[in-house]
Chain A
């Protein structure tokens, strides 16, 4: 009989209990205080103890020990598995390079990897923007149909005043906080709603583009065109670009559901989400930077020519970074392709 040599449950448990308790202690320490809290002896013991418990579990199931023992061993093995296999592969991918550098290179590469979706997003954002701009320049009533009139009037008055009346550091900080809360929230929502087959992202892109264009056109039509241009040019490339990129990431997410290729829809969604989330991180960081620029620099009383010069320089830097950043890092690129499940 195959079970002949198996010990009784009590004898088995009595013999192995000490090891189970040692593994349990290691796992609890690691869960409560993290892996670095383990002593060198515990680290050395962890893997052998875990493998022994796996063997014990297999044995207990095979010789049909009672359910509580099997339950206990399963819980212990599962908890140890969760700690032991919490492998983060990034260290091996990034080698000796710092996190910041890896992130700086991964972001523009991710944007270029999804360039079709990004291009569509830019069109969905900037075509309505120019439409709104031209529309409200030509017809004063146009902007009021998109943005409430009272809000438009407040904005127009504010821009007519110009920047010479310094508004103070406190108000700058309040506005920067508002831009973080509002703009990053819009970008993240614009990305997330792309899950609805891209429709949510498309909606937010068109809506925000149209409203932005309409406001700029209205303000320009009311005699503050130079001022709003001076204001927007500083942070515009960061802020408007980031919104479009977040929307593009959402479009890509939606497209992975519409056209999953030779995968299931869920598998296609998961692969594209993993790859595209890098773009969303990058867009969020761009918007944080834009909020700081918008709060503390764009409304400052620096001369208009300086602001415009800085704005153009920012535009050039952002464009060059997205177009060229992270090129030539062949190893990381190959890893990303494998991660995205594209072998060719």
Chain B
């Protein structure tokens, strides 16, 4: 059974999903502002398309019909457009979300609808959450359909920004995040013997230190030399002192320390890991 993981989690707008493979991954849940923009985009697309079709239909109806048949074709066009207006109002969102999991407006804002267990939604969920927009629009259902007071209140109160339709259909709107594969941080040029000699064996960094140094090493190509020096000097002297490495070049010191901390004891580690030849 797939269910959201209940454990200590940081105060954030993520939702953790545990898969049958016992992998836990997090989805970033989309907030009201982004979803409002997506909704407005969808409305523009819908009613823009509707207006375009209406112009075409009326042009054809008036243009091709003779004088006697005009009322007939006019009536037929009105009937068709009323059905289309119904489709725009009640079917557009449901059909697109059931089919693609997203609508053009949502896709433009990088949003996707999932069930609370992290699966794509089916037609039932899509229909339910979109029919219930009428409840989210309360108490202004007739006057201002796109200002949803009840929906906004519900999003504020619930953990995962669910409006009423989301609550009933057990759905969430997430921003799937596809990071590009990053190259591992590699010490370059490789550690020289004299550097290795000075670096102590027991280099241990806690998670925060590791992350800070790694972020710095990944970004340092984009920094100016002065800025790089300035940033490195904020922690390099302290860490250098801790591991007995005098910081002539603070950036290089950080790179050495990071390399040893990250690769110590790893199977095919470079010499800087301080375990010479033991894991070849």
Indicate whether A8 reaches chain B with its CB closer than 8 angstroms.
yes
Q: Evaluate contact between B135 and A195: CB separation under 8 angstroms.
A: yes
B contact residues, total (Cβ < 8 Å): 73
Tell me whether A343 is interfacial, beta carbon within 8 Å.
no
Tell me how far the C-beta of B94 lies from the nearest C-beta in chain A, rounded to whole angstroms. Answer: 11
A173 and B80 contacting across the interface, CB-CB below 8 Å:
yes
Q: Across the interface, do B120 and A181 meet the contact criterion of CB distance under 8 Å?
A: no
Which stretch in B42-50, B177-185, B221-229, B234-242 binds the other chain?
B177-185
Nearest chain B residue, comparing its CB with the CB of A7: B267
B17 to chain A, nearest CB (A): 7
Shortest distance from the beta carbon of B163 to any chain A beta carbon, whole Å: 11
Cross-chain contact B169 with A273 (CB below 8 angstroms): yes
Q: Within 8 Å CB of A193, what residues of B? A: 134-135, 138, 141
Establish whether residues A72 and B179, one from each chain, have CB atoms under 8 Å apart when the complex forms: yes
B201 at the interface (CB under 8 A from A): no
Q: Collect the chain A residues with CB atoms within 8 Å of residue B85's CB.
A: 181
A72 adjacent to B135 (CB under 8 Å): no
CB pair B138–A6 under 8 Å, yes or no, is no
Tell me the complex Cα distance, A185–B75, Å: 21
> Across the interface, do B71 and A269 meet the contact criterion of CB distance under 8 Å?
no
- List CB contacts (< 8 Å) of B12-32 with chain A: 17, 19, 21-23, 25-27
Nearest A residue to B275, CB-CB: A4
- Contact in complex: B76, A169 (CB < 8 Å): yes
Tell me if A's interface is mostly helix, strand, loop or mixed: helix
Whether the Cβ atoms of B127 and A277 lie closer than 8 Å is yes
Task: Select which of B79, B101, B114, B134 is within 8 A of A192 by beta carbon.
Answer: B134
B71 CB to closest chain A CB (Å) equals 6
Q: Mark B174-217, 1 if CB is under 8 A from A, else 0.
A: 00111111111110000000000000000000010011001000
**A-contact bits for B242-269, CB 8 A (1 contact / 0 none):** 0000000000000000000011011111
A200 and B138 within 8 A (CB): yes
Does chain A have a CB within 8 A of B6? no
Known: A11-B267, A68-B182, A200-B138. A172 touches B75 (CB 8 A): yes
Q: Does A57 contact B (CB under 8 A)?
A: yes
A189 touches B134 (CB 8 A): yes
The answer to the question of A280 belonging to the interface, with a C-beta cut-off of 8 Å to chain B, is yes
**Contact status A253-B168, CB under 8 Å:** yes
Residues of B near A86 (CB, < 8 A) are: 119-120
Question: Which of the 9-residue segments A77-85, A145-153, A237-245 touches chain B?
Answer: A77-85
A171 touches B262 (CB 8 A): no
Closest to A193 in B: B135
Residues of A within 8 A of B82 (CB): 174, 177-178, 180-181
Q: Which of A72, A81, A192, A194 contacts B180, CB < 8 Å?
A: A72
B181 near A20: Cβ-Cβ < 8 Å: yes
- Give the total of A residues in contact with B, Cβ under 8 Å: 73
A184–B72 touching, CB < 8 Å: no
A69 in contact with B184 (CB, 8 Å) = yes
Q: How far is the CB of A235 from chain B (nearest CB, A)?
A: 16
Contact of B21 among A54, A65, A83, A177 (CB under 8 A): A54
Q: Does B167 contact A (CB under 8 A)?
A: yes
Q: Check: B172 CB closer than 8 A to any chain A CB.
A: no
> Which chain A residue has the least Cβ–Cβ distance from B170?
A270
Which of A68, A180, A181, A196 lies in contact with B138, CB distance below 8 A? Answer: A196
Closest to B267 in A: A7
The answer to whether B127 touches A171 (Cβ under 8 A) is no
Q: Are A81 and B79 in contact (CB under 8 A)?
A: no
Q: Check B74 for interface membership: any CB of A closer than 8 A.
A: yes
Give Cα A51 to B120, complex, Å. Answer: 19
Q: A281 contacts which chain B residues (CB < 8 A)?
A: 127
Q: Which residues of A contact B26 (CB under 8 A)?
A: 74
A327 to B148, CA, bound (A): 41
B233 CB–A CB distance under 8 Å: no
Is A189 within 8 A of B184, CB to CB?
A: no
Asked if B118 is an interface residue, CB under 8 A from chain A, the answer is yes
Q: Does A170 contact B (CB under 8 A)?
A: yes
Residue contact B134 to A173, C-beta cutoff 8 Å: no
Closest to B266 in A: A8
Tell me, yes or no, whether A87 is within 8 Å of chain B by CB. yes
Find B131's partner among A67, A180, A280 (CB 8 Å cutoff): A280
A66 contacts partner chain B, Cβ-Cβ < 8 Å: yes
Task: Answer whether residue A165 sits at the interface, using C-beta atoms and an 8 A cutoff.
Answer: no
Candidates A1, A10, A168, A188; contact of B134 at CB < 8 Å: A188
Q: Which of B21, B185, B265 contacts A3 (CB 8 A)?
A: B265
CA distance A277 to B170 in the complex (A): 13
In the complex, whether B122 has a CB less than 8 A from a CB of chain A is yes
User: Is B71's CB under 8 angstroms from A177's CB?
Assistant: no
Apart from A8-B269, A169-B72, what 5 extra A-B contacts exist at CB < 8 Å? A11-B268, A71-B179, A81-B17, A170-B75, A281-B127
8 A-B pairs in the complex with CB atoms less than 8 angstroms apart: A8-B269, A65-B184, A74-B26, A170-B73, A171-B71, A192-B132, A270-B167, A270-B168
Shortest beta-carbon contacts, A-B, top 10: A170-B75, A177-B79, A177-B82, A68-B182, A170-B72, A173-B79, A192-B134, A9-B184, A10-B184, A195-B135
Using CB atoms and an 8 Å cutoff, list the residues of chain A in contact with chain B.
1, 3-11, 13, 17, 20, 51, 54-55, 57-58, 64-69, 71-72, 74-79, 81-83, 85-88, 168-178, 180-181, 184-185, 188-189, 191-196, 200, 253, 266, 269-270, 273-274, 277, 280-281, 295
